[in-house]
Structure formats: structure tokens, C-alpha cells
Amino acid sequence: MMSEAKLSGQVAVITGASRGIGRDVALTFAREGASLVLVCLRDQKALTAVQQEVEAYGARVIALIGDVSEVVFCESVYSASKEAFGVADILVNCAGTITRAPFEEMSLEDWHRVIDVNLHGAFYMCRQFIPDMRAQKHGKVINMTSQMAHMPHPSASPSYEVSKAGLTALTRHLAYQYAPYNICVNAIAPGSIDTDMPKSMTETARERLRNGVPMKRLGEPEEVGECALFLASDMSNYVTGTTLHVNGGSLMK
């Protein structure tokens, strides 16, 4: 017997959808019947490829290119989404960037850029989409943070950890404020997932990374996609203000 689609009739907005974790969130949600608004920074070709993949599931989809660190762009995502599909039910803030220079070598530009994208971008998107969720008394917001919000790591600049710790705090704040309106706001904190992001490290650093994980492997993006499905669907209606750690056991140490 076929199981029922878990997101049928739902509208999901996913930033960072052209590759990596965001792409797999999009594929998982499309498989489960959602209509999708896909966003990425500049890789039109990759986003079109994801769009075609999700259309193969029969999903309705629009794809938008722009920078979530710009308020005006986030406003335009909201307008386009509402025009295409009406009020959004699910917002996944997955767009993210990282720099790896150590504290003393990190430029001020890098400091600001990472926080602008990872924290301010998610904040702008929440500001656009949550009021409609409040009005309809239903919504799911998922913020992609990182295990680095919870422990320091030498492979990233401090701006990355700070941006994700800020996003964790924003997640809790919004969860508390909007709980009476039946809006669940949660974070997923991936550990080391095999996307382009860890690929920007040296092979030695990647090997060290793998060995440091109790499961002795990097995670797969689809393993994060399935967790996002849990938080986006009715399976988690009493879950809010929490962080789901998806890291092969890394935070146990």
C-alpha cells in the first residue's frame, strides 16, 4: 500500500536550493507533494536542474535567483511566492556561506558577509513570511544552523559559528513568540555533510573530519532532507524551539 504524501497541498519556500542540503530538502518535499519556491544566489543552471527534478515528481515550482542578505530580494521572494501559490506553509532557511580564515587573518568583509547571509538573510525571510503564517494559524519554519553553533571548530572562521549561534537564538525567540499561533520554529544543526561546503577543505582536513565523527563518515544531504520533512510535516506538530542535531554522534564527545 502506498503511504500518503506528507506535504500534499502545502507550499514550501526553500533558500539555498540549487545544491547540497537545500537541493535534497527540495527533492524530499516534492516527493511528498509540496509546491515549491526555490531560491539560490547565482547558479541559474543548477537551480533549473533542481526545478526539472522536482517537476518530475509532479510538483508545482517557481525558481528565483538573488541574495537573501538583501531585504529587497526577500520582499520579492515573498511577493512572487504569494502570487504563485498563496500563503506559504513552510519556510526553510538553508542558504548559507562559510569562510575559513582564522580569527587574526579574517577580513572585516568576511566577518560581515557570513553574518549578513546566514543570520540576516534568515531574519529577513522570517520577517516576510511569518505574518501570513500567524494570520492562518499554521506554519513551519526550519533554520539550517550547524553543529558549529554548539562547539568551536578550527576549520571555520568565527563569523560562521557566530552567525549560526545567532540563528539558533533567533529560532528559539520566534518559536516562543509564535507558539500561540501554531507556528513551529525549529533548527537543524548538521554536522559534516558531504556537500560542496566541506569539499572546500583540504583532503587531509576532510579525513580528519571523517575520523572525528563517531559514525566515521560524513552525512549525506538526503539524511538532512528526511529530518527537514519531519519538522515540516504533521509528524512534529508539538515540536518547537528545538534543534535537531544531524551529525553522526559528533556532539556526544
* Contact set with ligand NAP (CB under 6 A): 15-22, 39-43, 46, 67-69, 94-97, 117, 121, 144, 146, 190, 192-193, 195-198
> Which one is catalytic: 78, 160, 176, 181?
160
Q: Smallest distance from the beta carbon of 197 to ligand NAP, in angstroms?
A: 3
Q: Which is nearer to ligand NAP, 43 or 105 (CB)?
A: 43
**Angle, helices 121-136/71-85, rounded to nearest 10 degrees:** 30
User: Which DSSP letter does residue 233 get?
Assistant: S
Q: Which is nearer to ligand NAP, 66 or 138 (CB)?
A: 66
Q: Which is nearer to ligand NAP, 55 or 237 (CB)?
A: 55
Q: CA-to-CA distance for 47 and 23, rounded, in angstroms?
A: 9
Contact between residue 36 and residue 50 where contact means Cβ atoms under 8 Å apart: no
Q: Smallest distance from the beta carbon of 142 to ligand NAP, in angstroms?
A: 11
Contact between residue 14 and residue 225 where contact means Cβ atoms under 8 Å apart: no
Going 36 to 40 to 45 to 50, the CA torsion angle's sign is negative
Q: Which is nearer to ligand NAP, 128 or 146 (CB)?
A: 146
Residue 238 known to be catalytic = no
Percent helix / strand / coil, the chain, rounded to 5: 50, 15, 35
Strand pairing class (11-15; 90-93): parallel
- Residues identified as active-site: 160
